[in-house]
Structure 1
Amino acid sequence: MSKADNMLAILWLLKANKRMTAKQLADALEMHIRTVYRYIDALCASGVPIVADSGHNGGYSLLPQFKESPLFFDLEEQKALLQAAVFAQEAGYPYGDVLRQALTKLKRYTNEEQRTAIDRHLVGFDVISSGPDEGMAPLLRQLEAAVAGNGTMLIEHHKGVGLEPQGRRIDPYGLVHWKGKWYVVAHCHLREEIRSFRVDRIVSAEPTDATFERPADFSARGYLLQFLKPWISADGEKLIAVGVEGKPETLNALCETGPFGDSLVERAKDRAQFMFEENAMLTYVPYYLLGYGAKLTVLGPPELKARMASLALELHEHYNSAL
Structure 2
Amino acid sequence: MSKADHMLSILWLLRSGRRMTAREMADKLEIHVRTVYRCIDSLCASGVPIIADSGPGGGYRILGQFAESPLLFDAEEQKALLHAATFAREAGYPHTEALERAVGKLKLYSNEDQLIRMELHDRGVSVIYPPSDDREKAVLRQLEEAAAQGMTLEMVYDKGRGEPPRSRGFDTYGIVHWKGSWYAIGYCRLRQTVRSFRADRIVELRPANSRFVRPEAFSAKRHLLESMLPGALDDETLVTVRIAGPELALNELTRHWLFGHTLVSRSEGEAAFRLGQASLNSYVPYFLLPYGTSLTILEPATLVERLAKVSAELAQYYNEMKR
Taking structure 1 as reference, are residues 309 and 167 closer, same or farther at Cα in structure 2, changes over 3 Å only? farther
Contact 2:139–2:205 (8 Å) recurs in 1: no
What pairs with 1:143-292 in structure 2 (closer than 5 Å)?
143-149=143-149, 150-156=151-157, 168-177=168-177, 182-193=182-193, 195-197=194-196, 199=198, 202-215=201-214, 218=216, 220=218, 223-224=219-220, 228=223, 233-234=226-227, 237-239=230-232, 245-249=243-247, 251-252=249-250, 254-255=252-253, 258=256, 260-261=258-259, 264-266=262-264, 269-270=269-270, 273=273, 286=286, 289-292=288-291
**Letter of the structure 1 residue corresponding to residue 172 of structure 2:** P
Shift of 1:171: 0.6
Contact 1:181–1:198 (8 Å) recurs in 2: no
Q: What is the RMSD computed on CA atoms of the aligned residues? A: 5.0
Taking structure 1 as reference, are residues 162 and 254 closer, same or farther at Cα in structure 2, changes over 3 Å only? farther
What pairs with 1:1-323 in structure 2 (closer than 5 Å)?
6-12=2-8, 40=32, 42-46=34-38, 73-76=71-74, 79=78, 81-119=81-119, 122=122, 124=124, 126=125, 128=127, 131=129, 133-135=131-133, 136-149=136-149, 150-156=151-157, 168-177=168-177, 182-193=182-193, 195-197=194-196, 199=198, 202-215=201-214, 218=216, 220=218, 223-224=219-220, 228=223, 233-234=226-227, 237-239=230-232, 245-249=243-247, 251-252=249-250, 254-255=252-253, 258=256, 260-261=258-259, 264-266=262-264, 269-270=269-270, 273=273, 286=286, 289-296=288-295, 300=302, 305-319=308-322, 321=323
How far apart, CA to CA, are the structure 2 residues paired with 1:168 and 1:236?
25
Kindly tell me the number of residue pairs found equivalent between the two proteins: 266
Q: CA deviation digits over 1:77-133, x for unaligned, max 9?
A: 871543442343244321213311332233124333443454465455x364x5254
Q: CA deviation digits over 1:119-166, x for unaligned, max 9?
A: 465455x364x52541342331231132234132325365xx989788
How far apart, CA to CA, are the structure 2 residues paired with 1:6 and 1:290?
61
- Percent identity for Structure 1 against Structure 2: 23
What TM-score do the two structures reach when normalised by structure 2? Answer: 0.58
Taking structure 1 as reference, are residues 196 and 187 closer, same or farther at Cα in structure 2, changes over 3 Å only? same
Q: Gaps spanning 5+ residues in structure 2: where? A: 13-29, 41-60
State the SS of the aligned residue for 2:94.
coil
How far apart, CA to CA, are the structure 2 residues paired with 1:316 and 1:279?
27
Q: CA deviation digits over 1:154-205, x for unaligned, max 9?
A: 25365xx989788653211233456766443322324534x35254574434
What TM-score do the two structures reach when normalised by structure 1? Answer: 0.58
How far apart, CA to CA, are the structure 2 residues paired with 1:154 and 1:84?
31
State the SS of the aligned residue for 2:227.
coil
How far apart, CA to CA, are the structure 1 residues paired with 2:114 and 2:277?
50
Taking structure 1 as reference, are residues 219 and 189 closer, same or farther at Cα in structure 2, changes over 3 Å only? same
Worse overlay, 167-176 or 235-244: 235-244
State the SS of the aligned residue for 2:226.
coil
Contact 2:242–2:272 (8 Å) recurs in 1: yes
How far apart, CA to CA, are the structure 2 residues paired with 1:294 and 1:249?
14
Taking structure 1 as reference, are residues 7 and 244 closer, same or farther at Cα in structure 2, changes over 3 Å only? same
**Letter of the structure 2 residue corresponding to residue 43 of structure 1:** T
How far apart, CA to CA, are the structure 2 residues paired with 1:104 and 1:283?
45
Contact 2:246–2:294 (8 Å) recurs in 1: no
State the SS of the aligned residue for 2:184.
strand
Contact 1:254–1:260 (8 Å) recurs in 2: no
How far apart, CA to CA, are the structure 2 residues paired with 1:132 and 1:123?
20
Q: Gaps spanning 5+ residues in structure 1: where? A: 17-36, 49-64
Q: Which residue of 1 aligns with 2:49?
A: none
Shift of 1:263: 5.8
Taking structure 1 as reference, are residues 154 and 40 closer, same or farther at Cα in structure 2, changes over 3 Å only? same
Taking structure 1 as reference, are residues 73 and 113 closer, same or farther at Cα in structure 2, changes over 3 Å only? farther
State the SS of the aligned residue for 1:85.
helix
How far apart, CA to CA, are the structure 1 residues paired with 2:251 and 2:70?
47
